[in-house]
Amino acid sequence: MSQKVKFINKNQSAFFATVRQRVETSFKEKGLSKNGNGAMWGKTAFFVLGFFSLYLLILSGWFGAWAMLGLTLALGAFAAFIGFNVCHDAIHGSFSQHARVNKGLSFLFHLVGANPYVWNITHNIVHHTYTNIPGHDEDIEVAPGLIRLDASEKVNGIQRYQHLYAFWLYGLASLSWVLRKDYIKFFKKNIGQHTAQHPRIEYFNLFFYKILHYVIFIAIPLVVLNLTWWQAALGFLVMHMAEGMVMGLVFQLAHVVEGTDFPVPNEQGNVEEAWAEHQMRTTANFAPTSALASFFLGGLNRQIEHHLFPKVCHIHYPAIAVIVRQTAQEFNLPYIESPTFVSAIQSHYRMLKKLGKEAYHLQAQEEESQNSKRLFAA
């Protein structure tokens, strides 16, 4: 990827200036901080204590095989919930007004197997800037060659069946992070348009905390529970499959559902609309009225508000959503939203099926064209 992308506010849209001013005014009038509050700290305590409690229950060895399997699945889910509810806000700098607090809480990301420094580059810098732009937003490159999430992606005949196997591959997301993705991204020359000069301490952090993660979730259970190597490996796999399935579904439902765009820059590398309008066309909410979704998913069911205001703690998203929706309507911009979690999954499934079917037909046309060329040459 060599082309540089720029957003050109061709129509001189005042949408973002307007919605930002309204949100700022709302916080001032209510006398509220844009950072976390008591409820946010309560959620943090719940998920962190829940995670460590599940881990200690597993190490206790008090339970049979099926109960241990259930605890391991729950541990993986809680790892994802810590990522959503604590680390995500902390790395964005929205959890607290104090940088040290955000930095400290972001280190919990190491505990769940991911590197906060690499995440900041791939997610905060690259994904949030170039959302859904093929070749630039690496978050939509889930499994190249196997899963096709945009119409410009290369086709492969097996993608015809991607609606049947994609959800299972999402379960590998966390395992990929902990075993390969962070290493690959860290040592790439460029991540999207971002060229990083890594501080020396980050080389240490990458390897030290990865090894610590392997020790905590493979070596210690292997020793304490007197497991065979394959039982320890299976437990590690199950935990990360649960974590990956939760993460993968949430991330895909936010950007790959019916109605979201995958804009391709013009020959000059320009996207001819304002960045904020681009976010409105490429991002979607789901289950916005579900208290459970908001609690467990760290506000990521309100991705529109998150993408426009990543420095605002997710605990405030329901309040500012009213302002964002109203302003989007005034500026005749889409506000893409699935009413429930299930309806969002169904929409994503239909997208997978549609893009997979297109891939099959495109490959068939390519093969037919190649056969015609060979016959003509003969």
The domain segmentation of the chain, as residue ranges, is 6-377
Rounded to an integer, the average pLDDT of 290-296 is 93
Instruction: Determine what percent of the chain is predicted with pLDDT higher than 90.
Output: 56
pLDDT band at 374 (very low <50, low <70, confident <90, very high): low
Question: What is the model's pLDDT at position 87?
Answer: 93
CB 344 within 8 Å of CB 259 = no
Candidate ranges 182-196, 263-277, 313-327; pick with highest mean pLDDT: 313-327
Helix ranges (DSSP H) in 272-330: 275-282, 291-296, 303-308, 317-330
Give phi and psi for 210, each to the nearest 5.
Answer: -65, -45
Question: What is the model's pLDDT at position 203?
Answer: 93
CA dist., res. 147 & res. 159, Å (int): 6
Helix ranges (DSSP H) in 34-126: 38-60, 65-82, 88-92, 99-106, 108-111, 116-119
3-state secondary structure of 6: strand
User: Over 60: is that where the pLDDT of 231 sits?
Assistant: yes
pLDDT band at 363 (very low <50, low <70, confident <90, very high): low
Rounded to an integer, the average pLDDT of 255-284 is 89
3-state secondary structure of 130: coil
For residue range 134-168, what is the model confidence (pLDDT) as tens digits?
878 877 777 777 888 877 777 777 888 888 888 88
User: Over 70: is that where the pLDDT of 377 sits?
Assistant: no
Residue type, 115: N
CA dist., res. 149 & res. 355, Å (int): 7
User: Over 60: is that where the pLDDT of 196 sits?
Assistant: yes
For residue range 35-86, what is the model confidence (pLDDT) as tens digits?
999 999 999 999 999 999 999 999 998 988 899 999 999 999 999 999 999 9
* String of DSSP letters for 224-265: HTT--HHHHHHHHHHHHHHHHHHHHHHHHHHHSSTT------
Rounded to an integer, the average pLDDT of 225-250 is 90
Provide the CB-side half-sphere exposure for 226 (13 A, CA). 2
User: Over 80: is that where the pLDDT of 194 sits?
Assistant: no
R_g (Cα) of the chain, nearest Å = 22
Rounded to an integer, the average pLDDT of 335-347 is 95
Average pLDDT of the chain is 88
Question: What is the model's pLDDT at position 329?
Answer: 96
Question: What is the model's pLDDT at position 1?
Answer: 46
CB 159 within 8 Å of CB 355 = yes
Q: Which residues contact 49 (CB under 8 A, 6 or more apart)?
A: none
51 vs 186 pLDDT, higher one: 51
